[in-house]
Amino acid sequence: MFTASAAPLAPADSAVLPNAPVPGLGGSRRVAAALARVRGGARLTFDEGLTLFREATVLEAGAAADAVRRVKHLVDRVTYQVDRNINYTNVCIYRCAFCAFYRPAGDAEGYVLPFEEIGRKVEETIALGGTGILLQGGIHAELPFSFYEEMLSFLREKYPQVHRHAFSAPEIHFLAKKEKTTIADVLARLQKAGLQSVPGGGAEILEDGVRKRIWALTKAPTLKWAEVHREAHRLGMPTTATMMFGVGETHEQRLQHFDVVRRVQDASLAEGVESFTAFIPWTFQEENTAMDGTVETAGGTDYLRTLAIARLYLDNVPHMQGSWLTQGAKIGSVAMSFGADDLGSIMIEENVVAAAGSHNKMGEEGMLALIRDAGFTPVKRGSVYDRCREACCRDLPAL
Ligand code: SF4
């Protein structure tokens, strides 16, 4: 528990404080003032977030995020999921500069998975104790809308127990353009066919200057990404928010991304509809991408600082996911003390990040050991952070 040692400072106080290091802390007085406000229950301002990025030591940010995380999640538990990423196609009309996964139409390595193959992958997932699938693909210009509806209906009918978390904002946005209809209409039709929740993919950095530079603006400008999530929430579907960082963006641009997520969440919560279940920051992997060697990618310290500030800034998002997949098990382990209350999925299959050079792997036993060794209690969850109903978890408080 974070116990306030001094009365929270007003924002005006923090603005006039000299920016000398705080004895014994190593950070600055502005950092101390911002963190005191968080301890007092206040929401971080944009400028305070910037101060944390620029002046907080990584341990200061981490300790504050850990305190917030322990208040939000009353016991020392860390959740994880067993699911599988199924990429139904790698054919894509876009050429995002950070992507090593896509293949242009007509490429010998391009594929569209037959439903039987998707079914086989789901059966393997069930056999391994999996409870959900994450279904995403490239933006394939030739697949008709009925392909998406039939894929969802096939999965719902054949594997009703497996949660269908599917289609990132760029896929939804493209379908709306192709069908000459609204994003809300596309989501409603997909929901009718079996869609249950929407992943936060395709967010990268939600600032259009960055999106343009990394060739991600056309596939979904920031406003379209936000619209997909707002409309999904309104239709009663929870979603997640992601951030891929370390693509040469500034700290201001990372905060702008946090701000988009916080504002979307505020609006959905105010309406009393569904909302973001989690924020999932992860770092750009450059191998085999057009951006390889062109930017300074984010290392472990930058990752942990960003995760911690995200936990502090996104006061309205319940869960924060640590990324062992891009950062490896060691940083994944530390992430649990930097604000993360969830380590995501063991990912029986993952192709997108693997294509860009990240080959970290983990089985369920490895996940359990990683969480326990860090001093936390592992709890298996479902795709929308619903708790596992197995005997092991029945007595724990609600997530
Ligand atoms: S990130 Fe998605 S939209 Fe961009 S090229 Fe890769 S598959 Fe296509």
**DSSP secondary structure string, 90-152?**
-B-S---TT-SS-B-TT-TT--B--HHHHHHHHHHHHHTT--EEEEE----TT--HHHHHHHH
Instruction: Please say whether the beta carbons of 284 and 298 come within 8 A.
Output: yes
> Measuring CA to CA, which residue among 202, 201, 179 is closest to residue 189?
179
- What is the percent of the chain with per-residue pLDDT over 70, rounded to a whole number? 89
Q: Taking the CA of residue 258 as centre, how many other CA atoms within 13 Å lie in the half-sphere pointing to its CB?
A: 29
Per-residue b or e along 223-251, where b marks 16 or more CB atoms closer than 10 Å to that residue's CB: ebbbbbbbbbbbbebbbbbbbbbbbbbeb
Fold topology of 77-393 = TIM Barrel (3.20.20)
Residue 398: the pLDDT is 58
Q: Is 124 a residue whose pLDDT tops 50?
A: yes
Distance of CA 4 to the CA centre of its chain: 30
Q: How far is the CA of 287 from the centre of ligand 1 (A)?
A: 15
Length of the chain: 399
> Ligand 1 centroid to 150 CA: how many Å?
23
The 10 Å Cβ neighbour count of residue 297 is: 19
Query: Long-range CB contacts (< 8 A, 24+ apart) of 177-182?
Result: 178/141, 178/145, 179/145
Which protein residue's CA is at the shortest distance from atom 4 of ligand 1? 96
**Distance between Cα 352 and ligand 1 center (Å):** 9
| Average pLDDT of the residues in 125-130 | 92
The whole-angstrom separation of Cα 190 and Cα 326 is 30
Pocket lining: 206 vs ligand 1, CB cutoff 6 Å: no
Secondary structure (3-state) at 190: helix
Tell me the C-alpha distance between 59 and 67, whole Å.
12
| Nearest ligand 1 atom to alpha carbon 219 | 3
Residue 26 has pLDDT above 60, yes or no: no
Strand (E) positions, 231-320? 239-245, 276-283, 319-320
Q: Is there an atom of ligand 1 within 6 Å of 99 CB? A: yes
Q: What is the dihedral of CA 344, 134, 174, 353, to 10 degrees?
A: 60
Report the pLDDT averaged over residues 102-121.
97
Provide the pLDDT confidence category of residue 360 given band limits of 50, 70 and 90.
confident
Give burial (CB, 10 Å; 0-12/13-18/19+) of 128: middle
pLDDT value of residue 2: 31
Residue 215 CA, ligand 1 centroid: distance in Å: 10
Range 361-387 average pLDDT: 91
Tell me the whole-structure pTM to 2 decimals.
0.90
260 lines ligand 1 (CB under 6 A): no
- Residue 93 Cα: closest atom of ligand 1: 8
Nearest atom within ligand 1 for CA of residue 92: 8
Pick from 90, 92, 112 the residue to mutate for probing ligand 1's pocket: most ligand atoms within 8 Å of its CB.
92
Average pLDDT of the chain is 90
* Alpha carbon distance 372, 381 (integer Å): 16
Ligand 1 geometric centre to CA of 168 (Å): 10
Alpha carbon nearest to ligand 1 atom 7, residue: 138
Q: How confident is the model at residue 3 (pLDDT cuts 50, 70, 90)?
A: very low
Where are the domains positioned within the chain? 11-72, 77-393
